[in-house]
Amino acid sequence: MNFYDAINWRYATKKMNGDAVPKEKLDNIFNAIQMAPTSIGLQPFSVIHVTDPELKEQIQPIAYGQSQIVDGSDILIFTAWDEITSERINDYVKLTGEIRDLGEEELQPVRNMAEGVASRSKEDQFNWSARQAYIALGFGLSAAAIEKVDATPMEGFKNEELDELFGLPEQGLKSIAILALGYRDEDNDWLAPMKKVRRPKEELFVKPEVPELV
Ligand SMILES: Cc1cc2nc3c(=O)[nH]c(=O)nc-3n(C[C@H](O)[C@H](O)[C@H](O)COP(=O)(O)O)c2cc1C
């Protein structure tokens, strides 16, 4: 499906039917998430891929009982770095150097930019990382639609409890969103026949209102 048809076809599926997403479709969705742009290119996040039914059952009550957690075949937990540590910066600079065959001097600008973010408060570093992860979430959502795979983005869960379940504090990660992937149960999903609600373009796209200079 092309992108413009896909964004009309997709919706935040409330009821999935348990069918499994084929591997080649998952690979394409993962590729889109991997290829999403991020500030400085740092990709300050990890995505936990859950398929195990027992583990999904443990997540479901943390996500207020939402059924997509168990009826979706693949659950992606987007987690963001809690901090831009020097180890994380070093790993990225090293990777860039290896892939582009660059020396430390040529890599200095990218190191400086990353260190700039790392000098902010810890909360700011996490929020910055989370913003990058959300771009990847958007890419994943779009790719799923193009693959005709249903997807529900979710923030409706208790972050700290999910972090605890996956031992995220020890890994320097915090959960930010879940993406449930699967197939819509059209007959039993109350949202399936509903029209989309979107603010009109005249409200979303506005002319600049520059205050008059005095
Ligand atoms: C970051 C984010 C978090 C969301 N959390 C939930 C959620 O926990 N459960 C749910 O059913 N839908 C959730 N939604 C879906 C939104 O309610 C939905 O995208 C919005 O109403 C627009 O509808 P549409 O996606 O069906 O076009 C979330 C969407 C986003 C982008």
CATH number of the structural domain spanning residue 9: 3.40.109.10
Q: 11 CB less than 6 Å from ligand 1? A: yes
Report yes or no on 213 lying in a domain: no
| Angle between the N-to-C axes of helices 104-118 and 86-100, in degrees from 0 to 180, rounded to the nearest 10 | 150
Order of strands, edge to edge, in the sheet holding 45-50? Answer: 45-50, 74-81, 173-182, 150-154
Q: What is the pLDDT along the chain (214 residues), one digit of tens a residue?
A: 899 999 999 999 999 999 999 999 999 999 999 999 999 999 999 999 999 999 999 999 999 999 999 999 999 999 999 999 999 999 999 999 999 999 999 999 999 999 999 999 999 999 999 999 999 999 999 999 999 999 999 999 999 999 999 999 999 999 999 999 999 999 999 999 999 999 999 999 999 988 887 6
Q: In this structure, which residue's CA is closest to atom 27 in ligand 1?
A: 11
**Token couple for 15:** 């009821």
Q: 9 CB less than 6 Å from ligand 1? A: no
Cα torsion angle, 109, 114, 115, 120, sign: positive
Report yes or no on 109 lying in a domain: yes
Report yes or no on 71 lying in a domain: yes
| Angle between the N-to-C axes of helices 104-118 and 122-146, in degrees from 0 to 180, rounded to the nearest 10 | 110
* pTM, entire model: 0.97
Q: 199 CB less than 6 Å from ligand 1? A: no
> Please, which residues have CB within 8 angstroms of residue 212's CB and are 6 or more apart in sequence?
none
Report yes or no on 214 lying in a domain: no
Q: Which domain holds residue 147?
A: 3-204
Report yes or no on 209 lying in a domain: no
Q: In this structure, which residue's CA is closest to atom 5 in ligand 1?
A: 154
Q: In this structure, which residue's CA is closest to atom 30 in ligand 1?
A: 153
Q: 196 CB less than 6 Å from ligand 1? A: yes
Report yes or no on 9 lying in a domain: yes
How far, CA to CA in Å, does 181 sit from each of 13, 19, 107, 113?
A: 9, 10, 38, 35
Distance 154 CA to ligand 1 centre (A): 6
pLDDT on residue 213:
76
88 in Cβ contact with 81 (< 8 Å): yes
Distance 72 CA to ligand 1 centre (A): 15
Q: 178 CB less than 6 Å from ligand 1? A: no
Instruction: Work out how many domains the chain is built from and give that number.
Output: 1
Residue 41 CB coordination number (10 Å): 13
